């Protein structure tokens, strides 16, 4: 008697087929040649099947050794044994990313596949990453880039297959937080302020950074110039980076795995021209005195939103709180002043210094008899050219014997005068005045 065993296995996937024991009727010898009963007895002496069928279907996956008895029509018998091995069932598989991919080179990820079966004999497994086109004995797959990977694990004895998958995430997950705390304050200065921070859910170690000036051509990287660089031990923020007006981008590279690099564009704005202006100065007068004024005018440039300061130079550079909205400063006493303008962004510019306001000098003048009164009412008095006061715009009031004579005039010569004591009151538009020493015209001879 010859019996063959078809072991437990899978014809598709992980759906197991039952084992079978088949007696080859054509290979039986002896007896009458007519074989009518096939008897299958397990190792516990239990007859599990007896009859005309020469095939036993085994559903007990623990396996067993069976005695096979064959009887002919005369009651003669022959026997053999057949062993069905236990079914090593594939119970599952998992795939784990054991090395994450980095940005450089970008294809260094590793996935390790682990399978289990009832016999736990991993020498019986083979693995496929290409949907079964090829199988390899190793369960470690390297050289992988970001993406989802599907794996088949096949039992080399049973042909049963289990599946699993794993995803390697994109390594470049961080963003750059650009915080601009100030644009350029004053024209032509590097007073723009910006800091950078690396933002990521899991990455906590350092980074290297470089700021590039695009030189007005963001699409052309060939003419970009590096203007600042540094490194941070953690994710930032960086110290303040001071920049002038321009279009920039910062390139940040992780100093540790996954070694990725990102860039972020930003710009620093600024005024188109420096602050300039002029001053209009009104000098101090004699009356009331301490009435000088300085007005800051024609201010352009900077950020606009101007405030103004006029003060004595001896007081030094003005503080922020010293600037006021009005541009005219009045009731100023004598002194040396400077004038400043401050714009909305805090840029301060000296418009003019060494502005001198003086108390006017006293008017100095005398009168002369330029024609005696030899003939009645033919006398003449002339005022010397005055000095001091406003320096011009003088008015002359003739006084005879202590009483004003005639209306004031703006010429220095008084004619047609008779005998008497004369003086002249000289005034200007600043309220300065002088009573000249008196002179006499005598009676005609």
List pLDDT tens digits, range 95-111: 999 999 999 899 999 99
What class, spelled out in words, does domain 276-357 have in CATH? Answer: mainly beta
Asked whether the beta carbons of 198 and 254 are under 8 A apart, the reply is: yes
> Is CATH 3.40.50 the classification given to domain 367-441?
no
Per-residue model confidence (pLDDT) at position 69? 97
Asked whether the beta carbons of 340 and 294 are under 8 A apart, the reply is: no
> In the chain, where are the structural domains located?
3-84, 90-168, 175-268, 276-357, 367-441
CA torsion sign for 219, 254, 260, 199 is negative
Q: Between the CA of residue 141 and those of 26, 133, 137, 261, 367, what are the distances in Å?
A: 50, 15, 11, 26, 119
Per-residue model confidence (pLDDT) at position 375? 87
- pLDDT-derived band at 31, boundaries 50, 70, 90: very high
List pLDDT tens digits, range 189-240: 999 999 999 999 999 999 999 999 999 998 898 899 999 999 999 999 999 9
Per-residue model confidence (pLDDT) at position 1? 87
Euclidean distance between CA atoms 255 and 234, whole angstroms:
10
Residue 393 has pLDDT above 70, yes or no: yes
Per-residue model confidence (pLDDT) at position 182? 97
List pLDDT tens digits, range 257-295: 999 999 999 999 999 999 999 999 999 999 888 999 999
The two beta strands, 47-51 and 35-41, are antiparallel
Angle at alpha carbon of residue 9, lines to 7 and 10, rounded to 5° = 155
Which residues lie closer than 8 Å to 421 by C-beta, 6 or more apart? 400, 401, 402, 438, 439, 440
Euclidean distance between CA atoms 406 and 74, whole angstroms:
181
> Is CATH 1.10.10.10 the classification given to domain 175-268?
no
Asked whether the domain spanning 367-441 has the same topology as the one spanning 175-268, the reply is yes
List pLDDT tens digits, range 294-324: 999 999 999 999 999 999 998 888 999 999 9
Per-residue model confidence (pLDDT) at position 445? 66
The mean predicted confidence, pLDDT, of the chain is: 96
58 alpha carbon, distance to own chain's centre: 71
Asked whether the beta carbons of 396 and 383 are under 8 A apart, the reply is: yes
List pLDDT tens digits, range 62-83: 999 999 999 999 999 999 999 9
Architecture of domain 90-168 in CATH?
A: Sandwich (2.60)
Euclidean distance between CA atoms 231 and 135, whole angstroms:
47
List pLDDT tens digits, range 52-66: 999 999 999 999 999
Which residues lie closer than 8 Å to 386 by C-beta, 6 or more apart? 363, 364, 365, 394, 426, 434
Four-CA torsion 72, 74, 78, 82, nearest 10 degrees? 30
Per-residue model confidence (pLDDT) at position 123? 96
Across 40-47, average pLDDT: 96
HEC states along the chain? CCEEEECCEEEECCEEECEEEEECHHHCCCCCCCEEEEEEECCCCCEEEEECCCEEEECCCCCEEEEEEEEECCCCEEEEEEEECCCCCEEEEEEEEEECCCCCCCCCEEEEEEEEECCCCHHHEEEECCCCCCCECCCEEEEECCEEEEEEEEECCCCCEEEEEEEECCCCCCEEEEEEEECCCCCCCCCEEEEEEEECCCCCCCEEEEEEECCCCCCCHHHCEEEEEEEECCCCCCCCEEECCEEEEEEEEECCCCCCEEEEEEEECCCCCCCEEEEEEECCCCCCCCCEEEEEEEEECCCCCCEEEEEEHHHCCCCHHHCECCCEEEEECCEEEEEEEECCCCCEEEEEEEEEECCCCCCECCEEEEECCCCCCCEEEEECCCECCCCCCCEEEEEECCEEEEEEECCCEEEEECCEEEEEEEECCCCCEEECCCEEECCCC
Architecture of domain 3-84 in CATH?
A: Sandwich (2.60)
List pLDDT tens digits, range 169-180: 999 999 999 999
List pLDDT tens digits, range 366-388: 999 999 998 889 999 999 999 99
List pLDDT tens digits, range 420-430: 999 999 999 99
């Amino acid at each position: 008697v010859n019996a063959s065993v078809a072991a437990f296995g899978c014809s598709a996937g992980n759906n197991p087929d039952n084992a079978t024991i088949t007696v080859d009727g054509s290979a039986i010898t002896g007896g009458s040649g007519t074989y009518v009963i096939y008897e299958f007895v397990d190792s516990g002496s239990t007859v599990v099947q007896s009859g005309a069928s020469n095939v036993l279907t085994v559903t007990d996956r623990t396996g067993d050794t069976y005695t096979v008895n064959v009887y002919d029509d005369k009651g003669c018998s022959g026997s053999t044994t057949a062993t069905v091995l236990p079914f090593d069932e594939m119970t599952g598989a998992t795939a784990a990313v054991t090395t994450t991919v980095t940005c450089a080179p970008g294809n260094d990820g590793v996935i390790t596949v682990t399978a289990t079966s009832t016999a736990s004999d991993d020498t019986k497994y083979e693995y496929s990453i290409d949907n079964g086109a090829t199988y390899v004995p190793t369960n470690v797959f390297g050289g992988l880039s970001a993406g989802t990977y599907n794996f088949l694990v096949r039992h080399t004895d049973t042909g049963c297959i289990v599946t699993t998958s794993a995803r390697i995430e994109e390594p470049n997950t961080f963003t750059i937080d650009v915080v601009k705390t100030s644009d350029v304050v004053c024209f032509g200065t590097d007073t723009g302020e910006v800091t950078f921070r690396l933002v990521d859910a899991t990455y906590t170690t350092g980074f290297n950074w470089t700021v590039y000036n695009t030189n007005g051509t963001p699409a052309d990287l060939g003419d970009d110039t590096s203007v600042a660089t540094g490194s941070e031990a953690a994710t930032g923020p960086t110290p303040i980076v001071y920049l002038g007006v321009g279009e920039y981008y910062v390139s940040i590279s992780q100093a540790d795995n996954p070694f990725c690099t990102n860039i972020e564009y930003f710009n620093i704005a600024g005024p188109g021209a420096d602050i300039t202006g002029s001053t209009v100065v009104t000098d101090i007068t004699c009356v009331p005195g301490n009435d000088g004024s300085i007005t800051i005018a024609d201010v352009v440039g900077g950020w606009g939103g101007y405030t103004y300061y006029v003060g004595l130079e001896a007081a030094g550079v003005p503080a922020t709180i010293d600037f006021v909205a009005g541009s005219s400063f009045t009731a100023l006493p004598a002194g040396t002043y400077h004038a400043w303008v401050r714009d909305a962004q805090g840029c301060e510019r000296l418009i003019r210094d060494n502005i001198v306001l003086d108390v006017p000098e006293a008017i100095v003048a005398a009168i002369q008899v330029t024609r005696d009164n030899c003939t009645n009412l033919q006398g003449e008095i002339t005022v010397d050219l005055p000095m001091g006061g406003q320096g011009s715009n003088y008015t002359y009031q003739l006084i005879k014997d202590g009483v004003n004579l005639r209306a004031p005039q703006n010429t220095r010569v008084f004619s047609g005068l008779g005998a008497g004591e004369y003086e002249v009151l000289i005034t200007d538009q600043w309220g300065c005045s002088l009573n000249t020493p008196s002179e006499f015209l005598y009676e005609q001879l």
